Copies of this chain bind each other. A is one copy, B any other.
Amino acid sequence: MPNEAHMKAAMQSYLDALNAADVEGIISLFAEEGTIEDPVGTGVHAAREGLTRLVGGLPAGATFTLDTPIRASHASGAAMAFTVQLTRDGIQTQIRSLDVMRFDEAGLIVEMKAYYGPSDITTT
């Protein structure tokens, strides 16, 4: 089972790679058979395909910032709350998300679920 420090470091690396728009860096954190559901309720996708589309859809300069330290667990799951800031067509958007990850024995992410709904998105 991956330890707490490993899971937290992997999730921080996920945010760091998102901030760098480093899609290969993000995918390298996931197991080959990994899946993502981002956000929950919109369908489960293969990690490589889903993450490529997700990162490809981000405008330049999008930022991902932790709202509170990453949490681990007594098992192979961990979770974190963070805020995405992005600007598209001059409109600033803030998305408050919360990702729950599950890891395999090798310490790779096998499942990511992002919790946010329309009420977690604000524009200014």
- How many copies of this chain sit in the oligomeric assembly? 2
A67 B41 Cβ-Cβ under 8 A? no
Closest B-chain residue to A43, C-beta based? B74
Residues of chain B within 8 A of A119, CB atoms compared: 4-5, 8, 72
Within 8 Å by CB of A74, from B41, B72, B78, lies B41
Residue A120, interface by CB 8 Å? yes
Closest B-chain residue to A1, C-beta based? B41
A interface residues, how many (CB within 8 angstroms) = 33
Interface of chain A, main secondary structure:
mixed
Q: Could you tell me the distance between the alpha carbons of A40 and B79 in the complex, rounded to whole angstroms?
A: 11
Residue A77, interface by CB 8 Å? yes
Residues of chain B within 8 A of A83, CB atoms compared: 68
Q: Could you tell me the distance between the alpha carbons of A96 and B69 in the complex, rounded to whole angstroms?
A: 8
Residue A56, interface by CB 8 Å? no
A73-B39 contact given A100-B100, A115-B100, CB 8 Å threshold: yes
